Structure 1
């Protein structure tokens, strides 16, 4: 029998250490199938977030293809996505053997690694400066001789242009840049370049500023001729319709996902004529438009489709075009699916569940049975230590529905009298989502007696276009209201202690947490690389999101006063509760100056706070050491505020003065003025498609968008999308 725990909430002894959470997890991404084999990306925090490419043959044995220091990652649209592609090659016996094309994280060039080769060889020309030419979302041409992909070109003046290009697998473009053929230009953004199986046409998705891909995109198609894509035209989509993920169902028909009805549903269209809804439903058939290369529909050889369908959590189903029936599949413990791939004969996907780690699985469409090919973790804690999610709909302001998932404190024998402390988690959206996949970040807290509630606040993905658009013009208002409403509902139900409520979030979630700290609901706030100054963000953010704030807040300069009023830095004088700030020194999305200015403002008002900077880390923490340190600091912070001492965890010092991180700790002899420390050499933000899910802590080791646009590739520890994210 398990002994009863007499320690207070938060100080329950737990075998789940921060080291356990930070180490031993690999993030799997972008499965691909061909010739009976399976490939995938695999990011590893213990290697600084390096992403390798793996292959699994029919025998089930996994082999690593990229050895250190090679790392596969694309930075197209900054947040990236699918960075590799299996390509058929011929050996002396004329047998097809597959190599891989991949984008290298360092120089962003495309490389080809032939089967059995030790070193890859470049396919694209060297960039004029690091990261100037980026390639992503690759697809194979019908003749197997070229890779068609999105190319992003950065100028030294900061300008960015994009195109869909064809890169020959012969390698001649590495020396002759003119061998890279521009097929499609003329839009600000491109995704999903998809050659038809007969090589006669190319389909793709395009959109322009100021829209984001969940706002409005176009599915376009063109004939492929000597001059590239000729006579392009729009098949579906527009400024108020989001069309995603085209898949050819023959030489002249396309299937795709569109939210024309208000939900991302499945459609089919020919090269002319009207689109037909295959299965109208008030559920989503995609996790969203990010990251690049995610797929939620794969055809089977008999003409049926395996699709993903649901809300924030998607599950597989089989659609039969002959009967128009959709049959959900019972996949057991795997209840949260991210992406699919298949070659007509086999279907694979990335999936997780409340007690199942993210895994690469082979799916039997006839039975729903899954076979695990690779797991993100080899060992898990005792299942009784893992939180059990309770999906709930709360009533927000004016009675609007707010979706959230409650994770009560759970530990064998861990019962104490009275309501528990709770942390309200705000995902790295604002257009992101939190799912119910296994998240050891949450277990780290719930197994110690701190409850977690993960809020899919207004603007989150998974609940239709109307729910997404609630945040238009209202970022910094509805997200804060939703977080407060969920916290108050838990208090009213007797689950949560009104005096021990925390709010925390990464990136855009950190923005919401800092704003909520100026209200009266929460006793403390934790911000992980959160946005503190909207005007500064608007001035410094990258091209992909350079107009996103136009929708979330309003276009500048007309809404300048609103930007100021909704910036946490402007409301810092209203904050009366302790704040923990976790920030990477090399964050190019939300620079460290934002956290420093907020810490200074708290110090000016005598508010207790802690600013912890993580040397060399970008927007999301890549190293296991940083993840571990940040997680322990957050627990110690709650202990300091809520009045308990977590056993075995270093304390965190809360101060009311601002110790400038740039000043040397000790002066040199003779009182020499040493000045500020030299800035460290710049490192790239940690990679995409990499390690972690949403979860909790430090979004390791992804590049997490401040907007976290729907990507399971964009995540913290196991559940958020998000982008990566924040995602």
Structure 2
């Protein structure tokens, strides 16, 4: 039975006021985290709550803006050890040092390079992390007293996620090489750290593949190379030391990102938790953490059936045959990220279907917790549309997952339906409260957030459904989800819209081209021409489409067959576009050409352009405009 709908949720309550929280960290009893503030044009600042205190202080007030440009997506913008804090400032892209609680000072000189993903090597008084310069990654050290970066290791291509052993004698990190992305094939590397800080004996210890690798050490040259042999085509995630000689890492060798333990003294590996669950996520940015060590115990977040669970990993002394035990930790949140732990306390970013994302602090001894959301929820619990799992027959009849949100008043056959295609395309439709989704349901829309083939959280085979099939599997899955809801009497076939950003924008446009299911579409900085993306993309994604579509330019015909721009004449419904003019990932030209092609065919089109915005909109006022303009566009063309 349908009930009276609540008041529609205002766009300003959805996008204009709530900060995004990132990279929480516990160190010496202090809690630190990043806040990206839409009301300050997306400026990101670092917050600190002192040990034993309840009041947070801002460490990097305006004009500081913490952001890394490594690989364009950045992440890992600060590191702390003792009273030493180092961060990346976007104004000059330099490293800055702050001796808590002092004032920041610049460590490096401005130049054509970017830094990210560092750690503090306290005894050697240096920051150690990634520098991207001249089209290559390097592991470098920068003295905390200031000075030029000192190269420690030159990978063949990409590197990051460095972790220093508790005694400072070993360094672990992750490397990967084109044409693969880190979630497709990557390697765990290990090196000894000499007394003078140089690396010795750098070698891959998991997931190796044949490639020439520049030698390690501060005096290494590109001519000094090692070669190594393929052991398995796997992906590794977040090396974490639990003792001076024991390392935990997630590996998908089993088909799932499961935890394994490496004894670096003997070289012996032990699978810890052989579960059909994912203890990792795609490494688009630095600073991701799904496991944490508090000094005595290992805590992890695992994704199963589209939801995350927090648990304690009970390690056994037997490093050969006995698996660890998994103990779920009772707490009400099932969308989790950014784990950090210390001395019996865990912090994480956490949300659930009725709670906005916030900082979860969990006492690992008593089980008590508190949750500090980034902003108060503007909705009463009874007004929130909660996600319902939807399993349906996707591309090729394969069982596929989505989250369905019924409209205010209850699902019914006349409801307009918004199909959401996530970005990546490796991302995951999650259960945490999204005010963006509630904006639509409060206006009487049904919403389905589709975990199409290629999504994370359901194992490697689910991710690999999209290999060579981008623009086919994702499109078919989004269309099938919509058709399943229409068949179930939960949506109107005459009023189905699809929207997405970046890769999700490509999926939306391709769905408008190659299916007759949708009646309107919205693309935010979406890929319109995969051929242009393959030939013009930035370094991190330069070969990404090799796996998603085919090698470029050998597979040119396939690119043309999948291109929304090349098939713009097949779109018969209105489309609205949103594009940042500073986008370095999907250049504005892609949107302009697509919009012009549709206009030439007489299709109703709107294009909204935003100066100063890149790939992903950071300004709250811009995000409000996008949401309001999308709703007005759909309402006008659906005559609601």
State whether structure 2 residue 119 is matched by structure 1 residue 134.
no
Q: Which residue of 1 aligns with 2:460?
A: 465
Q: 1:39–1:86: 8 Å Cα contact kept in structure 2?
A: no
**What SS does structure 2 have at the residue aligned with 1:544?**
helix
Q: Which residue of 1 aligns with 2:237?
A: 244
Q: Which residue of 1 aligns with 2:293?
A: 299
**What SS does structure 2 have at the residue aligned with 1:573?**
helix
Q: Which residue of 2 aligns with 1:447?
A: 442
Q: Which residue of 2 aligns with 1:364?
A: 363
**How many residues of Structure 1 are paired with residues of Structure 2 in the alignment?**
606
Alignment of 1:133-532 (within 5 A): 133-141=113-121, 143=123, 145-154=125-134, 160-171=135-146, 173=147, 177=148, 180-225=149-194, 226=196, 228-239=198-209, 240-271=233-264, 272-302=266-296, 304-311=297-304, 312-322=306-316, 324-332=324-332, 334-372=333-371, 374-410=372-408, 414=409, 418-518=413-513, 519-532=515-528
Structure 2 residue aligned with 1:572, among 565, 568, 571? 568
- Unaligned segments of structure 2, at least 5 residues: 210-232, 317-322
Shift of 1:351: 0.5
Shift of 1:230: 1.1
**CA distance 1:13–1:181, change in 2 (3 Å):** same
Q: Which residue of 1 aligns with 2:28?
A: 35
What's the CA shift string for 1:536-594, capped at 9, x where partnerless?
11122100000001111111121011111111001100111111111122222111111
What's the CA shift string for 1:406-450, capped at 9, x where partnerless?
00102xxx4696431101100012111110111101011101101
State whether structure 2 residue 60 is matched by structure 1 residue 62.
no
Q: 2:13–2:378: 8 Å Cα contact kept in structure 1?
A: no
Q: 1:32–1:85: 8 Å Cα contact kept in structure 2?
A: no
**What SS does structure 1 have at the residue aligned with 2:129?**
strand
How far apart are the structure 2 equivalents of 1:331 and 1:559? 49
How far apart are the structure 2 equivalents of 1:270 and 1:29? 31
How far apart are the structure 1 equivalents of 2:582 and 2:73? 16
Alignment of 1:710-725 (within 5 A): none
**What SS does structure 2 have at the residue aligned with 1:488?**
helix
How far apart are the structure 2 equivalents of 1:293 and 1:616? 25
Q: 1:586–1:618: 8 Å Cα contact kept in structure 2?
A: yes
How far apart are the structure 1 equivalents of 2:501 and 2:622? 14
What's the CA shift string for 1:173-226, capped at 9, x where partnerless?
1xxx2xx22111132111111111112111111111111001111111111124
**What SS does structure 2 have at the residue aligned with 1:593?**
helix
How far apart are the structure 2 equivalents of 1:25 and 1:146? 35
Structure 2 residue aligned with 1:19, among 12, 37, 40? 12
How far apart are the structure 1 equivalents of 2:377 and 2:575? 34
**CA distance 1:347–1:13, change in 2 (3 Å):** closer
Shift of 1:237: 1.4
Q: 1:87–1:101: 8 Å Cα contact kept in structure 2?
A: no
**What SS does structure 2 have at the residue aligned with 1:66?**
coil
How far apart are the structure 2 equivalents of 1:209 and 1:465? 19
Shift of 1:126: 2.3
State whether structure 2 residue 77 is matched by structure 1 residue 108.
no
**CA distance 1:371–1:213, change in 2 (3 Å):** same
Q: 1:142–1:197: 8 Å Cα contact kept in structure 2?
A: no
Shift of 1:115: 2.1
**What SS does structure 2 have at the residue aligned with 1:505?**
strand
Q: 1:182–1:228: 8 Å Cα contact kept in structure 2?
A: no
- Unaligned segments of structure 1, at least 5 residues: 6-11, 89-97, 155-159, 645-727
Structure 1 residue aligned with 2:541, among 530, 542, 545? 545
How far apart are the structure 1 equivalents of 2:56 and 2:517? 50
Q: Which residue of 1 aligns with 2:217?
A: none
**CA distance 1:285–1:13, change in 2 (3 Å):** closer
Q: 2:413–2:486: 8 Å Cα contact kept in structure 1?
A: no
Q: 2:6–2:383: 8 Å Cα contact kept in structure 1?
A: no
Q: Which residue of 1 aligns with 2:230?
A: none
How far apart are the structure 2 equivalents of 1:397 and 1:53? 44
Shift of 1:397: 2.8
How far apart are the structure 1 equivalents of 2:417 and 2:478? 12
**What SS does structure 1 have at the residue aligned with 2:624?**
helix
**CA distance 1:416–1:50, change in 2 (3 Å):** closer
How far apart are the structure 2 equivalents of 1:237 and 1:562? 30
**What SS does structure 1 have at the residue aligned with 2:493?**
strand
State whether structure 2 residue 617 is matched by structure 1 residue 621.
yes
**What SS does structure 2 have at the residue aligned with 1:600?**
helix
How far apart are the structure 2 equivalents of 1:348 and 1:50? 23
Shift of 1:316: 1.0
**CA distance 1:415–1:491, change in 2 (3 Å):** closer
**What SS does structure 1 have at the residue aligned with 2:425?**
coil
How far apart are the structure 1 equivalents of 2:172 and 2:617? 36
Q: 2:74–2:116: 8 Å Cα contact kept in structure 1?
A: yes
Alignment of 1:621-640 (within 5 A): 621-640=617-636
What's the CA shift string for 1:302-324, capped at 9, x where partnerless?
3x211111234322100111382
How far apart are the structure 2 equivalents of 1:547 and 1:367? 48
How far apart are the structure 2 equivalents of 1:358 and 1:4? 28
What's the CA shift string for 1:89-139, capped at 9, x where partnerless?
xxxxxxxxx242100012211101222334x11112321xxxx22111111
How far apart are the structure 2 equivalents of 1:363 and 1:487? 39
User: What is the CA RMSD across the aligned residues, in angstroms?
Assistant: 1.8
How far apart are the structure 1 equivalents of 2:274 and 2:373? 34
Asked which structure has the greater RCO (Cα within 8 Å, sep 6+), the reply is 1
